[in-house]
Amino acid sequence: MSIRDLALQTGQVVSVLALSPLLQGFILRYEERVQRARGPSLLQPYRDLWKLFHKELVVPEGASMIHFCAPVVAFTAMLIVPLLIPVLTNYPLPLSDMGDILGGGLILTLGSFFITLAGLDSGSAYGGIGSSRSVMITILAEPTLILVLVGIALLAKAMLPFVVNHLLVHEPAVYWSPAHVFLVCAFFILLLVETDRLPIHSSTHIEVYMIEEARILDYSGPLLGLLKWAGMMKQLILYTIFCNVLVLPWALSIHGTALGALGAATALLGKFALVACLVIVVETAQSRLRFYRYQEPLAASFLLAALAVIANQIR
Amino acid sequence: MTLPQFTPLAASLFSLLAIGSLLLAFVMLGSRWLRDYMYAFGLQSWLIALLSAAMGHYAQVPELYVIALLTALFRGLLLPYLILRILRRLGVDRELRLKIQPATTLVMGAAAVVLALAVSYRIAGAMGNPSSVVVLALTVMLSMKLIGFLMLAVRHEAISQILGLLILENGIFLGSQVLVPGMPLLIELVILFDLLVAVACFGVLARYLVEHAGTTSSLELRRLVG
């Protein structure tokens, strides 16, 4: 492993760490702007994290080891996934062959699983509600996710994200094929569901329907900061997979020079801004679904993924 | 029967248009609002008109331009306008009593597409292994027919039933555009006017329903009246 590969690999993780609050800030700010309010500053999530890391830690009575483990596990999981996916370079770096797309999905789910455990750990009512709801959504979303991954694997005849990236860049006929278009649509719905966006969740703190927020309601101080940061990183990782693997596979560093990596990071900002604008449009136009209608967007996503697999057979 | 051959770009364009119209059929299947069905149907007709025009361009059949124009005008504008007018008069805007939830219907529709794929592979085998566009057109045609039947079976509003019928018809039309591009203009004209008559009849029928049964749902029609 050369120094440059090491630097690039570290750069992937650091860019995910550093950019994730910015993405969150962008979405929050411009969503407010679209709704004709002023919106918080772009840097507000960074300030929130700073504030949380300087607060004292309050631990609920009856909290066990899990309470302390969960944020660390969730955060570490989010640090591992950027090693596996193309964030800056379009070729695999030395540690990228630790896992394929399914492996990345497994690690993402592991983080989420530990947060669910933490919600149940202290025995408070809200944590229990949040955990059970998020598990229900996972049950609905997971088959679709697997089917999307199967579709991607069939499209490229490989489970590695880098292979998919190369295929889409080099063969426009595959890029514009119905199978790929369907996969993009199916993944976009999953992206909305998994990153806590409407029509499923609401990230507002004081909501009856809260899901993500309810799971971590017992936390405070630095541990809460870690959890929030892990959530933002998960969002950024999913956006990266969506952009760099499926929708906009261009503008990645090919040779791995410093300039190329910098350019790739800048291009990443532009890609995220595009996807974030789309998400903002959806969030503004959509109202939240009732709890018992959550399966509808996910059924649509499942249908799209199934159609993608079928369209791929005909291609 | 000779099947047309296409360049890769034309083939991918046709696939995209065909798949797009299949997707719109699913929009109709998954929505509860009658107005959404209408818009999806209009858009689907425009996509099929585009497909006709593209086919006319690539297969060198100038007649198809006329057919594309007629499709866009009749199916894309006139029929949706007429049905919207009926909707406005009747004052219904959504399916009230659904026997099967939209999410379940969507999954059933996906199963229908798989069935259509299996059947069209068999047909394609019998036709002597044609290009993938032909298989796709067959699949889309058959699955839109099945979705149309599904809508006729699970929906009860008079308007959704006629829309189920119209999807069925759109599916056959789309298939014919790809499979036999040189279909005579006269037949197309006859079909278009048939559709117009069908919609007009349904309009009369729906008003009759409202007057005599006080509802537009076919669920209420349990008694035969002489």
pLDDT band at B223 (very low <50, low <70, confident <90, very high): low
Would you state the pLDDT for residue B3? 58
Please tell me if residue A139 touches chain B, with a CB cutoff of 8 Å: no
Whether A296 and B19 lie within 8 Å, measured CB to CB: no
- From A85-89, A185-189, B99-103, the region with the lowest mean pLDDT: B99-103
| CA atoms of B63 and A183, how far apart (whole Å) | 36
Sheet strands (E) in B133-226 = none
Specify the pLDDT at position A271: 93
Q: What is the ipTM of this complex?
A: 0.70
B129 vs chain A: nearest CA distance in angstroms? Answer: 12
**Residue A304, pLDDT above cutoff 50:** yes
Residue A292 has pLDDT above 50, yes or no: yes
- The three-point CA angle A280-A311-A157 to 5° equals 90
B151-182 pLDDT tens trace = 888 887 777 788 888 888 889 888 888 887 77
Find chain A residues with C-beta within 8 A of B114's C-beta. 306, 310
Interface test with A, best of B7, B13, B14, B15 (most A CBs within 10 A): B15
| Mean of the per-residue pLDDT values of chain A | 87
The answer on pLDDT for B100 being more than 70 is: yes
Mutation test of the interface with chain A: which of B47, B107, B142, choosing the one with the most A Cβ atoms within 10 A? B107
Closest approach of A145 to chain B, Cα-based (Å): 16
Chain B positions touching A311 (Cβ under 8 A) are 15, 19, 136
3-state secondary structure chain A: CCHHHHHHHHHHHHHHHHHHHHHHHHHHHHHHHHCCCCCCCCCHHHHHHHHHHCCCCCCCCCCCHHHHHHHHHHHHHHHHHHHHCCCCECCCCHHHHHCCHHHHHHHHHHHHHHHHHHHHHCCCHHHHHHHHHHHHHHHHHHHHHHHHHHHHHHHHCCCCHHHHHHHHHHCHHHHCCHHHHHHHHHHHHHHHHHCCCCCCCCCCCCCCCCCHHHHCCCCCHHHHHHHHHHHHHHHHHHHHHHHHHHHCCCCCECCCCHHHHHHHHHHHHHHHHHHHHHHHHHHHHCCCCCHHHCHHHHHHHHHHHHHHHHHHHHC
Residue A127 binned pLDDT confidence (cut-offs 50, 70, 90) = confident
Interface contact B113-A310, CB threshold 8 A? yes
Decide if B146 contacts B164 (C-beta within 8 A).
no
Work out the minimum CA distance from A34 to partner chain B, whole angstroms.
25
What digits encode the pLDDT tens for the residues A3-29?
Answer: 888 888 888 999 999 999 999 999 989
Task: Read off the pLDDT of residues A94-126 as tens digits, 9 standing for 90 and up.
Answer: 888 888 888 888 999 999 999 999 989 888 888
Q: Can you name the residues that pair with B94 across neighbouring β-strands?
A: B33
Is A306 in Cβ contact with B114 (below 8 Å)? Answer: yes
pTM for the full model?
0.83
Region A43-64: mean pLDDT is 91
| Phi then psi dihedrals of residue B217, to 5 deg | -90, 135
pLDDT at A235: 92
DSSP B100: S
Task: Pick the closest to residue A282 from A162, A157, A191 (CA basis).
Answer: A191
Amino acid at B188: E
CA angle (A80, A85, A91) in 5-degree steps: 125
Structure tokens at A97: 């062959």
Q: What is the mean pLDDT of chain B?
A: 82
pLDDT of residue B1: 45
- Averaged pLDDT for residues B40-56: 89
Give the mean model confidence (pLDDT) for residues A282-307. Answer: 84
In chain A, positions 226-245, which contact chain B (CB-CB < 8 Å)?
A: none
Three-state SS for B76? Answer: helix
Query: How far apart (Å, rounded) are the C-alpha atoms in residues B4 and B181?
Result: 8
Q: Cα separation of B172 and B193, whole Å?
A: 16
pLDDT at B94 over 80: no
pLDDT for A77 equals 94
Q: Do B16 and A310 touch (CB under 8 A)?
A: no
Residues sharing a CB contact under 8 Å with residue B142, sequence separation 6 or more, in sequence order = B115, B116, B119, B120, B171, B175
**From CA A312, how far away is CA A176, in angstroms rounded?**
12
Identify the CA nearest to B199 among candidates B211, B191, B188, B187.
B191
pLDDT at A37: 87
Average pLDDT over residues A193-206: 70
